[in-house]
Amino acid sequence: MSKNSDPILTIVELLKNQNLSKYSELIKETDFWKPLIPLKLKKFEKTGDFDFSFEIDDKITLDPTGYIVRNYKAEGTISVIDKGLQGSKGNLWEVEIKIIRPQAHVLARVRGRDVDNSLKVGIFVMDIQFDNSLMDGFGRDGILFAVRVKLRDLLQKAAQN
């Protein structure tokens, strides 16, 4: 990932009563990821120290009104590189998601730092490539909207665990 490129999607949330040290250790475990993965999880396995494979079946919302919902089935891998503490910016992880079916590829940065008895989390999608069949007639904005909604939901679920 290029350090000078601007993200195509940014999500920043403040998770109250959470702290960085808790998540720095948990992020390497399947038990952390499983509640975050869509409800119709078929498979989620650890394949390396910081690598996972998955199969999911989920519904995704493609518009702000919530009327356009599509079923989404996928299988792929998640690889995480822990870049460690980055001074006052907190911890940095680089995440690569490769989806085999339908084909998609996502590169993201995740930052976390403690702020006033809360954990500030930033997710920065740096690149996203996908097979046109994934769009199902919707443009790139629909896909980015679905990603934003899903990531916000997942952050809130993580804060409840």
109: Cβ–Cβ under 8 A, 6 or more apart, which residues?
1, 7, 92, 93, 94, 95, 122, 123, 124, 126
Question: Which domains are present in the chain?
Answer: 9-160 (3.30.530.20)
Distances, alpha carbon 158 to alpha carbons 5, 17, 78, 87, 145, in Å = 28, 12, 17, 24, 20
Phi and psi at 144, nearest 5°, equal -65, -35
H helices, E strands: number in the chain:
3, 7
Q: What is the pLDDT of residues 78-118, one digit of tens each?
A: 899 999 998 889 999 999 989 887 788 989 999 999 998 88
Stated pTM of the model = 0.77
